[in-house]
Amino acid sequence: ADVQALPVAERRATLLAQRKAELQKLISMYYAMRGWNSLGVPTVATLQRLGLWQYLNTATREKLVELNG
């Protein structure tokens, strides 16, 4: 559909939805590149690779495992 032919309010809503979808794709790519899950939480593997896992207490480790599914 030609966005330019739409009424202004509908055009604005359509473009905003497209931009939000593109932003979500970029955020997902960024998170994946950083070794984070879809919530932006570092994965267990990432924390282990960085040598940080050993410094976390048991409760924090359990929560991270839970957040990473």
Q: Tens digit of pLDDT for each residue in 54-63?
A: 999 999 999 9
Q: Contact at 8 Å (CB) between 8 and 19?
A: no
Q: What is the mean pLDDT of residues 29-56?
A: 97
Q: In this structure, what token pair is assigned to residue 35?
A: 């070794």
Report the distance separating Cα 64 and Cα 57, nearest Å: 11
* pTM of the predicted model as reported, rounded to 2 decimal places: 0.75
Task: Report how far residue 11's alpha carbon sits from residue 26's, in angstroms, rounded to the nearest whole number.
Answer: 23
1 has a pLDDT exceeding 70 = no
Burial track 36-69 (b if 16+ CB lie within 10 A, e otherwise)? bbeeeebbbebbeeeeebeeeeeeeeeebeeebe
